[in-house]
Amino acid sequence: MGDSTIKVGMFTLGMVATNCYFVFDESATDEEGRFHAAFFDPADKGERIYEALSEKNIVVDKILLTHGHFDHIGGVEALKKLSGAKVGCYEKEQALCNDPYLNLSNDYGWHWKVVPDETYRDGEVVTVAGIDFKVLATPGHTSGGCCYYIEKAGILISGDTLFEESVGRTDFPTSSTRELVNSVKEKLFVLPDDTIVYPGHGELTTIGHEKEYNPFIM
């Protein structure tokens, strides 16, 4: 299914076991033989991420955020500094990224802020390392949450919008249960059933499985 040269690697980091993904094309290297990747939601230990990827000869070209909650941004500052990669997110998530109250880091005494270098519109295609990522605005878990869809590979980076037989919480600042359900139905369940879903927490799933078995989306 999809383009087999596009690979997804994962780290699970932080106090709530956040899945952090890096996506690269294993058929494409630069003049020095290095792979280039997009990195999603560096949750913690940016230095560790950078060192581990460097050992695998992988360069981070851009850091993309599905949303700005503390458990998805804890490693941004260090990874950005070490890699030189710019940080991007959906345009309506800027305020949450930059507000320790809204992004919940204030609850733990961390006061984290991320100021994105780039923001994207709903439906915009962001090309990183030769791979096209379509931004799908999926408000609900946060008002500016989004997913990234790689059509030719049949891959969805879903953040905390959609999990295996579950969805993201909606009891946080800017959350909305109604918006979340609509986002999943209107933006994600219209994708091909064999689309592989890489969620922000938990195990991988597929769109087809969730359409049939997810009790939160009826």
What string of pLDDT tens digits covers the 218 residues of the chain?
456 899 999 999 999 999 999 999 999 999 999 999 999 999 999 999 999 999 999 999 999 999 999 999 999 999 999 999 999 999 999 999 999 999 999 999 999 999 999 999 999 999 999 999 999 999 999 999 999 999 999 999 999 999 999 999 999 999 999 999 999 999 999 999 999 999 999 999 999 999 999 999 98
Instruction: Convert the pLDDT of each residue in 176-192 to its tens digit.
Output: 999 999 999 999 999 99
pTM score of the predicted model? 0.97
What is the rounded distance in angstroms from the CA atom of residue 202 to the CA atom of residue 189? 19
What is the rounded distance in angstroms from the CA atom of residue 90 to the CA atom of residue 87? 11
Answer whether residue 70 is part of any domain: yes
Q: Could you give the percent of the chain with pLDDT greater than 90?
A: 98
Answer whether residue 26 is part of any domain: yes
- Give how many domains the chain has, as a whole number: 1
Please spell the DSSP secondary structure of 23-66, one letter per residue. EEETT---TTS-EEEEEE---S-HHHHHHHHHHTTEEEEEEE-S
Answer whether residue 80 is part of any domain: yes
Answer whether residue 1 is part of any domain: no
Answer whether residue 35 is part of any domain: yes
SS3 170: coil
What is the rounded distance in angstroms from the CA atom of residue 155 to the CA atom of residue 6? 9
SS3 70: helix
Answer whether residue 153 is part of any domain: yes
Residue 199 half-sphere exposure toward CB, CA atoms < 13 A: 21
Answer whether residue 218 is part of any domain: no
Instruction: Give the domain extent around 50.
Output: 6-213
> Is the distance from CB of 155 to CB of 199 less than 8 angstroms?
no
Task: Look up the CATH number of the domain holding residue 112.
Answer: 3.60.15.10
Residue 212 CA, distance from chain mean position: 24
pLDDT value for 3: 60
Answer whether residue 195 is part of any domain: yes
